[in-house]
Amino acid sequence: MNVLNQLSVWLSFQLSIIFLIGIPFTLFWWSIKKRNKAVNKLLSIYWKISLLFFISLLLLIGKYDYALIITNFSTLLMTISVWFWNDINDELKEYDFSYSLITTTKVWRWSLTFISLNFLIQSLQNISCFSNINFTECEIWLKPSSNFYILIKSLFNFFFGANFTQPVAKFLGLFSLLIYVLGLIQWSIIKLPKNGRNSCFAENGRN
């Protein structure tokens, strides 16, 4: 059962790489090429929100106790961000199935929702890891971030000539989390009351 759980968690992270990074990156550049303001705005917002997911990976590398909670919260926020905007939703409804960019975007939104839900279900199977990621049974959640750790370690050494360690990852993750939370609070207080669920993608004219 433990082997199946490890395989399931590993697969969840692999799917996350595809649906949280690969596909939205492709859609973003596709929307630029097609000059589709609605999809471009949707993906621009998504990338800002998704920074929390990368922050959570840093915290997983640094073995921060509440890293898994932040990871789940990040996927929840990303899912909300692609469904939240009324003007974008109304715009997407106007296109028929033959418009491949919009159809792919719609399929991706549903896939992202499923991935986030699956991620949460997987996490709940190791609910003790929500408060302490350093338990033995939580190792399965730390292993998938090892490749990301190796990549950052190489880049950190190349650009700064210094060793990227787990304490450094934890510090950078917590500092980035603080900046992220402050930005989210600012948006909630200033922009949300002003614009509501309007992304303002069409301020300069519709597609």
Phi first, then psi: what are they for 163, rounded to 5°? -85, 130
**Taking a C-beta distance cutoff of 8 angstroms, is the pair 101, 72 a contact?**
no
**Taking a C-beta distance cutoff of 8 angstroms, is the pair 85, 99 a contact?**
no
What value does the mean pLDDT take over residues 80-101? 92
Identify the residue whose tokens are 């929100």: 49
pLDDT the model gives residue 157 = 67
Could you tell me which of 54, 24, 48 has the C-alpha nearest to residue 148?
54
| pTM summary value | 0.87
Statement: residue 87 has pLDDT above 80:
yes
pLDDT the model gives residue 205 = 45
Please count the other Cβ atoms lying within 10 Å of the Cβ belonging to residue 146. 11
Statement: residue 126 has pLDDT above 90:
no
* 55-86 pLDDT per residue, tens: 998 898 889 999 999 999 999 999 999 999 99
